[in-house]
Amino acid sequence: MSGSSAGFLTVLALLAGVAVSNAGSANSGTFPSPAVDTPISSQKGEQTAVFAGGCFWGIQAVFQHVKGVISATSGYSGGAAKTAEYELVSSGETGHAESVKVVYDPSQISFGQILKVFFSVAHDPTELNRQGPDWGTQYRSAIFFHSPEQESAAKASKQELENSGRYSKPVVTQIVPTTTFYEAEDYHQQYLEKRGMATCHIK
């Protein structure tokens, strides 16, 4: 089974409440539930979250298949508008991270559950400035929070993950305030569905 196919099966298992097992540095066992979360239906209207974790093709491909996610868009966060284009971001010198903006329905999925997908399926949060064959600060692991509630949930989820002993290495995910999200070029959107599933790091 390809890593990408396994990733989508893991998403389904995760959302069904089945124990999730990561490859690489993860130990066996059930992935911890969110330590702090916003109850489903306590927020009104669409909510937005932005994540970085390696190649944005894979992050987008995972989240767009999660129930309750309305859209997942590839783009760039952390840098300036004038350098928000793929050729420049790829240099690793613009400050951007390849990111994905996730718009979700909080009546169907909570931010804590989205964090669980991010930490357990979409990437390896112990890899510093790389995922799979991709390396550089543009592939860093990061959560760009939009509110104090998201910041609190993200920090608690990261700490819970570290305390669980699931990984043998430290979780290096940055938790930082949101910056302007710049949508990536059209050819990067739904890239794996268009070009094939064997071209990215997703598990």
Residue ranges per domain, the chain? 3-32+47-195
What confidence tier does 194 reach under pLDDT thresholds 50, 70, 90?
low
* CA atoms of 57 and 87, how far apart (whole Å): 16
Cβ-contact 76, 42 below 8 angstroms: no
| Rg over CA atoms, the chain | 15
Q: Which of 55, 84, 109, 202 is catalytic?
A: 55
Q: What confidence tens digit (pLDDT) does each residue in 65-121 have?
A: 999 999 999 999 999 999 999 999 999 999 999 999 999 999 999 999 999 999 988
Mean pLDDT (the chain, rounded): 82
What confidence tier does 136 reach under pLDDT thresholds 50, 70, 90?
very high
State the average pLDDT over residues 173-193: 88
- pTM tops 0.85: no
The yes-or-no verdict on residue 21 having pLDDT over 50 is no
Question: Strands across the sheet with 97-104, in order?
Answer: 174-177, 141-145, 47-53, 97-104, 69-77, 182-183
How many whole angstroms from its chain centre is CA 188?
A: 16
Known catalytic membership, residue 200 = no
> Quick one: what percent of the chain has pLDDT higher than 90?
60
User: Which residue has better confidence, 183 or 21?
Assistant: 183
Give residue 36's pLDDT: 78
Could you tell me how many helices (H) and strands (E) the chain has, helices first?
6, 8
Q: Supply angle C-alpha 135, 137, 143, rounded to 5.
A: 115
**CATH architecture observed for domain 3-32+47-195:** 2-Layer Sandwich (3.30)
State the average pLDDT over residues 124-152: 94
